[in-house]
Structure 1
Amino acid sequence: MKTFVPFSQLRQQPTIVVDSTGLGAALTLAHWRGAATPEPLRDDTSAGSVLRALRAPATPGLEAVAVTANHFDVDGFVGVWSLLHPELALRHEHLLRLTALLGDFRELNWQDPLAEHALQLVCWLNAEEKDRFYEPFGAPALRRREDEASAEKFEWFLPRFAQLLENPEAGRATWEPEYERIRQAMATAQSSTTCRRTYPEIGLVVVQTPQPIPYYALFGPTAGFDMVLSLYDDNRYEFEYKYTTWIDLESRPTLPRLPLDGLAARLNSLEQSGHLWTFDGITDTGPLLRLTGRRLSKAERYADPDQRPIYSSSITPEMVEQKVVEFFREKYTNVQPRRYWSWAAIRAAGGGKGEL
């Protein structure tokens, strides 16, 4: 039987580290860029690596009794829980994979028969996390370190998750409000008021829809793409690199993230609204390019688009789309997609720009 331990206890006993990295780990099961996950266990999600490990019981280090993570999110939690409940995890492997994928990449195949259950699990985790603890990336506002504060979340969720896995109705009162909000947004995303244009050669999806919508609806059908340009009514726009280019994606090659300063400069040369186009660095988990009035906190940037202000631009949506597509087509001209980019290689592909 394995047990969860706070991240600070990593070196006190042989410990498996999930969705994190740490010196002294007996085994690392993480999709983080450059993580020491054994090659046969690499997967798009950290939970996926855990599930692969459970099917390879001779994996060195898997015998360690302690399990930890340095933060709490859906993917990491599913991975930790699966190590503590291996038989039940393997019985529900497909559902757990869907849940981890939705939690981290906000992608989901809505035609999958278990898609609804996965959404319910994620909504339950999200709702309980916010109500009982603090929102994702909210620890600094409480003057606490995430690796310390998140241990309390794991201790609360770990003994309760199995019931929801086998009977989601047990948590309906908690997951239903967010679930219904997502389903309503999905109805909009699937209606004639929304259109998508794809540019596979640069990995871009353009989503044109009337109002900002939750990520699960916005990113849900964008599997296989790594950038999303959202065009809303009243000339409101956001561009975002998906989390798929922050981690070591196993299932397919990707293009490297490029610094967004050049694109922001091109848009600012056209902008007459009084707002400036600003951008996050390439090592942010989900860099945004947007018009800014005030700087958003990490928690606000991680929250759904309909939960933050998005300002009107003087530039037409056609011109914004044109400038974004032109920029990436130009910059990716001599760059080939591949797996396992290092941050140094990503920086080099961007002309030596971007923080490390």
Structure 2
Amino acid sequence: MAPLQFLPFAEARRHAAETVVVDSILPRAALTLAHWRAAPTPAALQDDTSAGSVLRALAAAPAELAAAQYVTANHFDVDGFVGVWALLHPALARQHEPLLRLVAVLGDFREIDWQDPLADHAMKLVCWLNAEEKARFYEPFGAPARRRREDEASAEKFDWFLPRFAAILANPEAGRAAWQPEYERVRAAVAVMQSPATALRRYSDIGLTVVRTPEPLPYYALFGPTAGTDMVLSLYDGQRYEFEYKYTTWVDLESRPTRPRLPLDALVAALNAQETSGHAWAADGITDTGPLLRLTGRRLNKVQRYADPDQRPIYASSISPEELEQAVVGFFRQRYARIEPRRYWTWEAVRAAAAVVSE
């Protein structure tokens, strides 16, 4: 495999036949390594994360990779960055493969097993990437607010991070000043999640985890124990609630079957019929990367929806936590009873499943 060169996405469009595209789709690309639905990733290279597909490609060395000259991505996030970096540093990537896989899963799905000996290292790397991204550039999904296209503006992030990541990978202490604030906030939240103050209930038959904990927490703490399920209902003190479809149902998971997202209109209507707080329930559309069901006040933009729950307002409901949990569980049990979990849902199949259960 000859050394690859990073190309911004706009330039890569003119060199598609010689380009590997990561965590994105580029028509006529030499090779696609992405977990997006309908992405033409070769079956043998499919993985839960795009970086995981890259690591599979480095091990398999397909002819398309050997013939490529460039690598690109149309946005900057942890998973996509790790994949691009790995293709530019294949020997180091294979040396650190278990750690890089953890980083990619944490970045995209916000899941981590704290029993893994590499978990702490992975968290420091992700916190470093997050902190430097926000301090030097703009927050995830923040390009449109700056009247810039993400596929163009993100190239500046790649240019800054690509030559610096190896040093932090080898020695996270070199980046402590950047990662420490978020890392300490997450570790404090993990302690709450692991304390008697927090209770977890898993409804494996519908892929739901219910988390009852005093206050909203960062996703890296909140979602860790929910691995293996695709929906989270968070119940906070003061009758404050949020329900979320995880990103695991926006992409193609290779490791396990999933259920399709269902529109929440009927659940929203049922909750609004009970709600007397003065706020109204609303839900994002199923094609959003992480749709929320919550009481509305000031409308959240994409940056706020992607941000941690403890960084946005969550309003008090008149509905008790027991009633809300029963409503959510009942809604999905009724509708998923007619749907078998499977791998590789298309959006057309998702919509078809929704139409069947709404009949």
**Does the pair score TM above 0.5?**
yes
**Which residue number corresponds to residue 105 of structure 1?**
109
**Which residue number corresponds to residue 252 of structure 1?**
256
Q: Could you tell me how far 1:80 is from its partner in structure 2?
A: 0.2
**Which residue number corresponds to residue 10 of structure 1?**
12
**Is 1:22–2:63 an aligned residue pair?**
no
Q: Could you tell me how far 1:58 is from its partner in structure 2?
A: 3.0
Q: Could you tell me how far 1:24 is from its partner in structure 2?
A: 1.9
**Counterparts of 1:142-161 in structure 2 under 5 Å?**
142-161=146-165
CA distance in 2, matches of 1:152, 1:271: 46
2:126 to 114, 122, 132: 122
Q: Quick one: which amino acid aligns to residue 125 of structure 1?
A: L
Q: Could you tell me how far 1:353 is from its partner in structure 2?
A: 9.7
More helix by share: 2
2:191 to 178, 181, 187: 187
**Which residue number corresponds to residue 43 of structure 1?**
47
Q: Could you tell me how far 1:11 is from its partner in structure 2?
A: 3.0
CA distance in 1, matches of 2:312, 2:356: 32
**Which residue number corresponds to residue 204 of structure 1?**
208
Matched position secondary structure for 2:60: coil
Matched position secondary structure for 2:202: strand
Matched position secondary structure for 1:273: coil
- TM-score under structure 1 length normalisation: 0.98
Q: Quick one: which amino acid aligns to residue 11 of structure 1?
A: R
Assess, with a 3 A threshold, how the Cα gap between structure 1 residues 62 and 271 changes in structure 2: closer, same or farther: farther
The one-character-per-residue Cα deviations of 1:228-281 (angstroms, maximum 9, x if unpaired) are: 000000000000000000000000000100001111111111000010101000
* Percentage of matched positions with identical amino acids: 71
Q: Quick one: which amino acid aligns to residue 113 of structure 1?
A: P
Which blocks of at least 5 consecutive residues in structure 2 are unaligned? Answer: none
Which blocks of at least 5 consecutive residues in structure 1 are unaligned? Answer: none
Confirm or deny: 8 A CA contact 1:207 1:228 kept in the other structure: yes
1:340 to 336, 340, 344: 344
Q: Could you tell me how far 1:60 is from its partner in structure 2?
A: 2.2
**Which residue number corresponds to residue 309 of structure 2?**
305
Q: Quick one: which amino acid aligns to residue 326 of structure 1?
A: G
Assess, with a 3 A threshold, how the Cα gap between structure 1 residues 32 and 353 changes in structure 2: closer, same or farther: farther
**Which residue number corresponds to residue 137 of structure 1?**
141
Q: CA RMSD in A?
A: 1.1
Confirm or deny: 8 A CA contact 1:347 1:353 kept in the other structure: no
**Which residue number corresponds to residue 270 of structure 1?**
274
Q: Could you tell me how far 1:171 is from its partner in structure 2?
A: 0.4
Confirm or deny: 8 A CA contact 1:53 1:59 kept in the other structure: no
Equivalences, count: 354
Confirm or deny: 8 A CA contact 1:53 1:62 kept in the other structure: no
**Is 1:322–2:326 an aligned residue pair?**
yes
Q: Could you tell me how far 1:3 is from its partner in structure 2?
A: 1.1
Confirm or deny: 8 A CA contact 1:95 1:114 kept in the other structure: yes
CA distance in 1, matches of 2:219, 2:212: 14
Confirm or deny: 8 A CA contact 1:20 1:30 kept in the other structure: yes
2:238 to 234, 240, 265: 234
The one-character-per-residue Cα deviations of 1:301-338 (angstroms, maximum 9, x if unpaired) are: 00000000000000000000000000000011110000
Q: Could you tell me how far 1:98 is from its partner in structure 2?
A: 0.2
The one-character-per-residue Cα deviations of 1:17-51 (angstroms, maximum 9, x if unpaired) are: 00000112110000000100000000000000000
